[in-house]
Amino acid sequence: MNKTINQCLCCSSRRHFLKSFLPAVVAFTVLQSAKPANAEVHQTKALVLSCIDFRFLTAERYFLRNKNLTDEYDWTALAGASLAVTGFPHQSDAEAFWDQLDISYKLHHINKVMIIDHQDCGAYAMMIDPNLSKDPERELQVHTDYLSRAYSSIRSRYPDLGIELYFATLNQGKVQQVLPKL
């Protein structure tokens, strides 16, 4: 009695078929049980915007540590800080700030924005008045105006975020709060 075994056209034997089929079954089983990759959720307290001026980095970090924000903030630096939010010296600076704020808000669930302007700012000297720092009272007033503009812009886009405004001085890196003019 002659039995004919029907074989798959692509396989020359059952053994070859099983050897090629088995890895696919194992891979399918592993993939079915695997969970999709999830990015870890990171939460921080604030987005800090400061100027790029290196002279204030130590004072700003010390200030933020005293505000209980050590390692709990995102940091963005743009020349002029509040000046950059209003589009000076270039509109791309404002766009960079808004992009960073949006990312920080969505990814890190910040609850406030802190803007730190400083005395003797080169960006303000270039865009407003090269002699601005020679009149400390006027300098603070001009910064207060731009900090207030930034405050209003942020408040209109992100009404649920707290906004804190500050001005750092060259005198021992003192950082004082500035109240927005509404």
DSSP letter for each residue of 39-97? PPP---SEEEEE-S-GGGHHHHHHHHHHTT-TT-EEEEE-TTTHHHHTT-S-HHHHHHH
Q: Give the contacts of 62 (CB within 8 A, at least 6 positions apart).
A: 173
- 20-29 per-position pLDDT tens digit: 544 554 444 5
**pLDDT value at 45 more than 70:** yes
Q: Give the integer Cα–Cα distance in Å for 68 and 125.
A: 32
The single residue listed with the structure tokens 């105006």 is 145
Residue 17 has pLDDT above 50, yes or no: no
Mean pLDDT within 61-73: 94
Q: Of 166, 167, 144, nearest to 46 (Cα)?
A: 166
Q: What six digits make up the tokens of 77?
A: 């630096």
At 127, list the tokens: 């865009």
pTM higher than 0.75: yes
Predicted pLDDT of residue 173? 77
More confident residue, 33 or 59: 59
Within a 10 A sphere around the Cβ of 146, how many other Cβ atoms?
23
User: What are the tens digits of pLDDT across the range 89-101?
Assistant: 889 999 999 999 9
Average pLDDT, the chain: 85
